[in-house]
Amino acid sequence: MDILQFLLILKAHKKLMLVTLTLSVALVGVVSLVFPKTYSATASLVVNVNGADPVTGQVMQSQLVSRYLTTQADVIGSHNVALKVVDNLKLIQDATYREAFQRKAGTVASFRDWLADQLLRNLDVKPSNESNVFYVTFKADDPQRAAQLANSFVQAYIQTNLELKTQPASQTAAWYNTQLGALRSNLEKSQAKLSRYRQNNEIVSLDEKLDVESTRLAELSSQLVAAQGQTYNSLSIQNHAGNASAGVVNNPVIQELKEELAKSETKLSQQSERVGKNHPDYQLAKAEVDSLRNKLASEVHTVRQSIDNDLSVSRQRESALHAALTAQKAKVLELNAERDVGTVLAGEVESAQRIYDQALERFNQTRMESHSDQTAVSVLSAAVVPLSPSTPNLPLNTALSVILGTLLGIGLALIKEMSNPRVRSGRDALTVLGVPVLGVMAADNKALPPLRRRFGLPAPRPV
């Protein structure tokens, strides 16, 4: 079948097609007028995911934004939000809904849950593709009821969004509140233990006391080294006291006596050469020499006795300093042990204090979150009462009925033609009979040329 045959078939069955089109448009128009009218009201809201949380200061990660928005769309259409709408509008007291529920025989759901399910059937939540805007549409047979329920769903969602934020924070705050009591008790016990230890050991400042005792230990060590050096010096002098080069010889008194003795001995030697031993001058010189020798011996004895005394005193001082140094070492070691115990106890107090401070900070934060009345959702535009019904859409239905009626008329024309085919052109004769066409005899020669001109056919040749 070519385009000419198709057009000829349509021309032959134009009455059938016109009747079909008229019936289709009339039927759709009647159905559209009889069908109950439905009104749609739409409210829009914005979910802010870019700002920081006013309490925690946290910012949502970019890869979680799409998942968060999808979750919010599910929350808007959830049964929990629908139940809040039922409660806020007190729909349980509506007699119309009560009668509709009673007509539902065999239902096991409660009236409140049934109402929520009925509302969700007429709710449509559509997120924007390029922004964080949500469109909440509700359909109802009453335009005012449609706008009321759309706005009520938005408010119920905002309330639910706030509850989902504050309820976990309230539970966490309550848990932290119970834990703070145990942490506070642990901190008080640690502090009391450290205080008892300091009182029992009479510790005001353990570090300062240890520094004083350590300084004293260093001083005693220095004094002991000096005393040991003095002892070694005295012992060396004592060991060499009989030697002429010893410290005894270096004594200035002994050196002076030796000089005087040498002069007296020289004088005695001169007197012995000049006079005899019984001469008074000789006797006087000899007596002077003896006197000086006795003084020198006495002074040497005194010096040696002083060296022995110095050695004894040095040894006693060294022994005392050694004992004091040993006692001071033991005291410093004891203080070190006390400081180690005190450090452990102070560390326990510090750790308990740090844990308590962290728990207290988290408790205050979660308590603020539980009392927060701010949410990331804001209403962009509230639903208004629609002026015209969304369904049925008479202009749209009429346009569709024209299209469908035309297609149905074409289909019926083709079906009728195939059930009773006719020869309507030379091409049909060639196709059906399989013989060439020699000429065409028209019933109306005046009507044929315009038709041929309309379809671009050549004029017929005479037979």
Is-contact 95 110, C-beta < 8 A? no
pLDDT, tens only, 265-285: 787 777 777 777 777 777 787
The 10s digit of each residue's pLDDT in 330-342 is 877 776 776 677 7
Q: Is residue 252 part of a domain?
A: yes
74-113 pLDDT tens trace: 998 899 999 999 999 888 888 888 888 887 755 567 888 8
Question: How many structural domains are present in the chain?
Answer: 1
On whether residue 451 sits in a domain, the answer given is no
For residues 305 and 292, what is the distance between their CA atoms, to the nearest angstrom? 20
Considering the domain boundaries, does residue 290 fall inside one? yes
- What pLDDT does residue 42 have? 92
37 in Cβ contact with 141 (< 8 Å)? yes
Give residues with Cβ within 8 angstroms of 127, minimum separation 6: 69, 70, 73, 133, 134, 135
- Residue 347 placed within a domain: yes
Residue 286 counted as domain residue: yes
Range of the domain at 264: 206-366
Q: Residue 353 sits in a domain of what CATH number?
A: 1.10.287
Is 308 contained in some domain? yes
Please check whether residue 243 lies inside any domain of the structure.
Answer: yes
Contacts of 78 (CB under 8 A, 6+ apart): 160
Given its phi and psi angles, is residue 184 left (phi above 0), alpha (psi -120 to 50 degrees) or beta?
alpha
**Of the candidates 417, 407, 405, the residue with the CA atom closest to the CA atom of residue 9:** 417
> How many angstroms separate the CA atoms of 219 and 321, rounded?
10
What phi and psi, each to the nearest 5 degrees, are found at residue 40? -115, 130
Looking at the domain assignment, is residue 210 inside a domain? yes
pLDDT in tens, 434-452: 667 677 666 554 444 554 4
pLDDT digits (tens, 9 = 90+) for 169-189: 777 778 878 888 888 888 888
